[in-house]
Amino acid sequence: NATRGHRDPMLKKRDDFEDILEERRNTSDLRYALRCYTPALYKGLTPCTASELKTMVLQSDQLLYVINQVSKETGTATDEIQSEAEAILEEMAHRLQLSTIRFFAFTLSKIFKTLFRSICVNEEGIQRLQQTIQEQPVVLLPSHRSYMDFLLMSYILYTYDLALPVIAAGMDFMGMKIVGEMLRMSGAFFIRRSFGGDKLYWTVFSEYVKIMLKNGFAPVEFFLEGTRSRTAKSLTPKLGLLNIVMDPFLKGEVFDISLVPVSISYERILEEALYARELLGVPKPKESTSGLFKARKILSENYGSIHVYFGQPVSARSLAEGRVDRSQFNLTPRHIPRKPSEGIQDFVNDSAFRLVRSQEENMVLKPWVLLAALLLQNQTAGNKLGVLVEDLTEQAVWLRDLSRQFGAFLHWPDHIPPSRVVSSSLSLHRSLVRVSEGRVQLNLEPGFPPPAMTPEEELLSKAVVVLSCASYRNQVLHVFIRAALLASAIHSVAGSRKQEIFNAFSFLRNMFSNEFILRPGAEVQDFEEACYLLVKSAVLQVHQQEVLVTDRGHRTLAFLTSILDPFVQGYQMVCRFLCEEATESLTEKQFVPAVRKFFIKHLLTGELKYVEVLSSDLQKNALAALLRLGAVQKLRGGANEGTLKVNTVMVNSLEDTLGGKLPTQKPLAARL
């Protein structure tokens, strides 16, 4: 029965939120910043100093073992390698100081009150966290949509008198002279974006994190997605840090580790236009302190509310129950580094997907997210005049009810008439939409008088608005993605045979698994979940062998297929580009600019209708999918390093299948 294992999303009780800015608006910020701060720590520990921590790292068995190993391999004296390790640690380590935290508490209070209407936090989540921090080593895993995220996390934990986290930050922040040092003093430790085969670096880094975690000095915080999502969709999780924090548990050095997913949802993202430009290939500004002050113009804007949801702590022990045999770690001494076995890698990967999925499920969606989805669909339907406010409101109420049936965590104020909810959303996002004569449309026309622009420049300036809107629409995709894959599968299959529909669903799901968070190996489960939701909302009837669409189901199916359409068309065009335009010497580096040129040409002739395919994120994901499916290969070594070798026959057939022209490739092994 498909309902098994799907808790009815409507019944899921969500915690209540408290606005932490309310108190800040009524009492002194200085008193708040200087108040007595005494967080409870793990097993009542006394916190250790930064220098004690460094000593522990430098004397750890694992580091000494690797230093000897590197010394033998390179013939360098151990003292030299030891001092190299000290230099790495010096560059990396945090120097958490309460005075800096107090400075941030004061300044951020001023900034947040100016920028945001409210910062809402689920209090029950905070209470759960308070309890957990005292009982187990804790890893905080916030979603990552903005630079604000980690300042916000520390600010909230300080507000609630919780232990401040140590935070993994990218090296690029260290370049911001003053700010970099201040971040370091407020708990950030800095890591290189990639450290290839550098054994010494990897060991210093992993020992540093593990010692902090094992001894419970502070919660360790990092972003599972590895980098900010420019598209507001969750990114495929990166496993490096998760492997490190799981290690002490797997080796039996701690009894358990609590992983706490945190979902941060912004009603309006500070970097919205910046991200859109970045996705269109207009380079991003380097992180610099002066850039930060130029960003002060931002302070005169209103960014609505933020919701921060601290999820249910997930125990590493319960994730591993029945899945991991930890006795394999008894065979070698703990301090000898070893590559995790395939079973362990699968386990960590699966855990990462589950954690990102729970981040997604607790993202609070604002009404604007639904409006952005509807406005994009209206705009693509060639609706030149825009849509009447009344019609948009009717569509929004319909979509609100549908999302709730699908279990979306929607923050739609029910005590206010829908027309008011819609108009206040539109006015908050007036940089993206305009309302004139009772009609709403995206703000695509350049200001008056229109500057002289080439058609290409005009297209790119339109694209900035479309991609900004799409980043809000993307926030609701996780609610609909499984059902949208099923709707598109039904659309592409001629009959109503369940097995054929499942094959088409599996094909699409596999194709888009770099684009959305779809847990490896869970296609049958996802198919059942999609069937369950569409039966529950009276769109489908699912029988043993057949899937039938009800009379009232057509509107929902049309909405769902059009949500996936830009991605389908984008991937199809990437395939076409590779077959028609790709030269022998096309490298991965040249791929995005070349595809962009190809897409711009086809958008200008009107052959392509979705401007959002210009997003470099979609183009890179499509390439990643083709590499994963073996339709394109990346050559290694020598002069050909990074050159793409295209299997034209396979790419062609993928393009056809995406266009629904052919039955899906050989039925997949999984039978229903």
Domains of the chain: 17-268+304-362 (3.40.1130.10), 367-553 (no CATH), 564-659 (1.10.10)
pLDDT in tens, 125-145: 999 999 999 999 999 999 999
pLDDT of residue 407: 92
* Span 80-104, average pLDDT: 89
* Span 22-26, average pLDDT: 93
pLDDT of residue 440: 93
* Percentage of the chain exceeding pLDDT 90: 61
- Rounded distance, CA 558 to CA 576, Å? 26
pLDDT of residue 666: 41
pLDDT at 668 over 50: no
pLDDT of residue 664: 43
pLDDT at 122 over 50: yes
Question: 58 or 296: whose pLDDT is higher?
Answer: 58
* Span 216-228, average pLDDT: 90
The confidence band for 665, taking pLDDT boundaries of 50, 70 and 90, is very low
pLDDT of residue 3: 35
The confidence band for 662, taking pLDDT boundaries of 50, 70 and 90, is very low
Residue 473, token pair as written in the block:
């629409």
Residue 240, token pair as written in the block:
């490096």
pLDDT of residue 6: 41
pLDDT at 47 over 50: yes
- Rounded distance, CA 601 to CA 504, Å? 31
pLDDT at 8 over 70: no
**Which residues neighbour 460 within 8 Å (Cβ) at sequence distance 6 or greater?**
280, 600, 614
- Rounded distance, CA 604 to CA 327, Å? 61
In this structure, are residues 66 and 205 in contact, taking their beta carbons and an 8 Å threshold? no
- pTM score, whole prediction: 0.91
pLDDT of residue 642: 83
The confidence band for 195, taking pLDDT boundaries of 50, 70 and 90, is confident
pLDDT of residue 292: 53
Tokens 């629904």 identify what position? 660
Query: Average model confidence (pLDDT) for the chain?
Result: 88
pLDDT at 10 over 60: no
pLDDT of residue 110: 94
Phi, psi of 134 (to 5 degrees): -80, -20
Element (H, E) at 309: strand 305-310
pLDDT in tens, 492-513: 998 899 999 999 999 999 999 9
Element (H, E) at 346: helix 342-361
Element (H, E) at 265: strand 258-266
| Radius of gyration, alpha carbons of the chain | 26
**Which residues neighbour 172 within 8 Å (Cβ) at sequence distance 6 or greater?**
193, 286, 287
pLDDT in tens, 446-496: 655 566 788 898 899 899 999 999 999 999 999 999 999 999 999 999 889
In this structure, are residues 104 and 186 in contact, taking their beta carbons and an 8 Å threshold? yes
* Percentage of the chain exceeding pLDDT 70: 91
The confidence band for 291, taking pLDDT boundaries of 50, 70 and 90, is low
How many C-beta atoms lie closer than 10 Å to residue 135's C-beta?
Answer: 14
Strands 433-436 and 439-442, bridge-based pairing: antiparallel
pLDDT at 11 over 50: no
**Least confident segment among 282-286, 550-554, 658-662:** 282-286
In this structure, the dihedral spanned by the alpha carbons of residues 616, 619, 621 and 623, taken in order and rounded to 10 degrees, is -140
pLDDT of residue 671: 43
pLDDT of residue 290: 55
Q: Which of 309, 270, 262 is nearest to 119 (CA)?
A: 309
User: Using CB atoms within 10 A of its CB, is residue 212 exposed (0-12), middle (13-18) or buried (19+)?
Assistant: buried
Q: Determine the distance from the C-alpha atom of residue 532 to the mean position of all C-alpha atoms in its chain, rounded to a whole number.
A: 26
**Least confident segment among 561-565, 566-570, 636-640, 648-652:** 636-640
In sequence order, what are the beta bridge partners of 140?
221, 260
pLDDT at 669 over 80: no
